[in-house]
Structure 1
Amino acid sequence: MNMLTNLSLEQEFRLAVKYKKNIKNFNDSQSKELLLAAVKKMMLKDNMIKFFIQNRNSFNVD
């Protein structure tokens, strides 16, 4: 499988131990806020990736 679409062992551990435990205690409002924040971060990440792809020639290091 492609490593870009899979979580590393460390990421899976963090997800299982840290995040799942905390998320169980969230109410609906907190869950919605967290979801919106996660979606916003993903969109920002997409924007950065698109920017670097579009400007890749400007960042070539010789």
Structure 2
Amino acid sequence: MNDVQTKIYGLLENYLEYCKENGYTDFRIWCEDNIDTIDEDGLVDSIYQEVNYVADKLFC
């Protein structure tokens, strides 16, 4: 796992914990303030729909 993947994985873990405690919120919006590079933005962009789908099923 490279640095970008590691960072986004950490955000994903935190996001799921947040949703568990507070309910569903959009992953892309939740990550906005923590994205620092084009590579990070690209990875979030490529997974956010699937992450939202899973969070919706788990926490709504």
TM range, normalised to the smaller chain? 0.3 to 0.5
**Quick check: which has more Rg, 1 or 2?**
1
Task: Name the one with the larger helix percent.
Answer: 2
The normalised TM-score by structure 2 is 0.36
- Where relative contact order (Cα < 8 A, 6+ residues apart) is larger, the structure is 2
